[in-house]
Amino acid sequence: MTIFDKFKLDNQVAIVTGGATGLGKAMAEGLAQAGTNLVIADINLDTAQSTAQYFTETTQNEAIACQVDVTSASDVAKMIDVVMEKFGRIDILFNNAGINEHVKFEDMPYERWLKNMDVNINSMVLVSQAVGKIMIEQQKGSIINTSSMSGLIVNTPQPQAAYNTSKGAVIMFTKSLANEWAKHGIRVNTIAPGYMKTELTKDYFAQGGEMIDTWMKFTPLGRPGTPDELQGPALFLASDASSFVTGSVLTIDGGYTVYKFCDSRDCDEILMITIAFSLAL
């Protein structure tokens, strides 16, 4: 087997939640091009059907749409029944559904906080548990969770405590499942994207402004990512090319998280405090 063979996913079956548009659609396309049969799971059935039809027409694989509210246990159970009746197995799960709101914490209604937690982390609990039972029987599988660099650092200048908290939880959830399910041949990893230019955000980036300028200032590559730049990492984690990779956070952020967020004066003060503390020991 060559290294290129390890990236092939011929006849495997992948569920991609939130896969009808944006980053989910882009990563699903990468899996489809590698040979995967797809289940596009999305709350918007019309868009999911259109996306599934596109993949069916442009690849040699099957793609079906499944309308599902990933925060509903009954919806998730119905989805599993549909997938197993159609394909008889689940090899890859891509937990991608998510939301974000820029709201000051003191102004965020508690029900909105709960909504962020439900969509961004609790949905992964429901779907992973349901799919995991199938993968445990198979003694093989790859689960990939979309977290964010926001689970590793606090973004600036936008207020998004709920989003950051939920994405931090995704990372720990990933590591915990990787530990528990390794004995079943199930690998669990997470992709942590940085700022990405999608169909929904491209106009936002084009308009620019102080917030965009700040984001790009702290991104060494000086630009947002594009959805297709997540396809390679997604394929790597889904395939046997990453057979010894589990519990990992693959950060794809143009270098954003290499910085400590402080101006030169703050950094000098931190350095002096560190030196003073070291000398006192």
For 165-179, write each residue's pLDDT tens digit.
999 999 999 999 999
Say if residues 93 and 146 touch (Cβ distance below 8 Å).
no
Catalytic residue among 123, 163, 195, 256: 163
Q: Sorting pLDDT into bands at 50, 70 and 90, what band is 280?
A: low
Q: For residue 2, is pLDDT > 80? A: yes
pTM above 0.75, yes or no: yes
pLDDT of residue 260: 56
Catalytic residue among 25, 123, 167, 256: 167
Residue 27 — φ and ψ, nearest 5°?
-70, -35
Alpha helices (runs of H) in the chain, residue ranges in sequence order: 3-6, 22-33, 45-58, 73-87, 110-117, 123-138, 161-181, 202-207, 210-217, 231-238, 264-280
User: HSE (CB half, 13 Å, CA atoms) of 171?
Assistant: 19
The encoded tokens of residue 21 equal: 């548009």
pLDDT of residue 79: 97
CA pair distance 201, 5, nearest whole angstrom: 35
Q: If you average pLDDT over residues 39-53, what whole number do you get?
A: 96
State the CB neighbour count (10 A cutoff) for residue 273: 10
Domain boundaries, the chain: 3-280
Catalytic residue among 123, 142, 148, 166: 148
Superfamily for the 3-280 domain: NAD(P)-binding Rossmann-like Domain (3.40.50.720)
State the CB neighbour count (10 A cutoff) for residue 245: 15
148 is known as an active-site residue: yes
CA pair distance 250, 191, nearest whole angstrom: 5
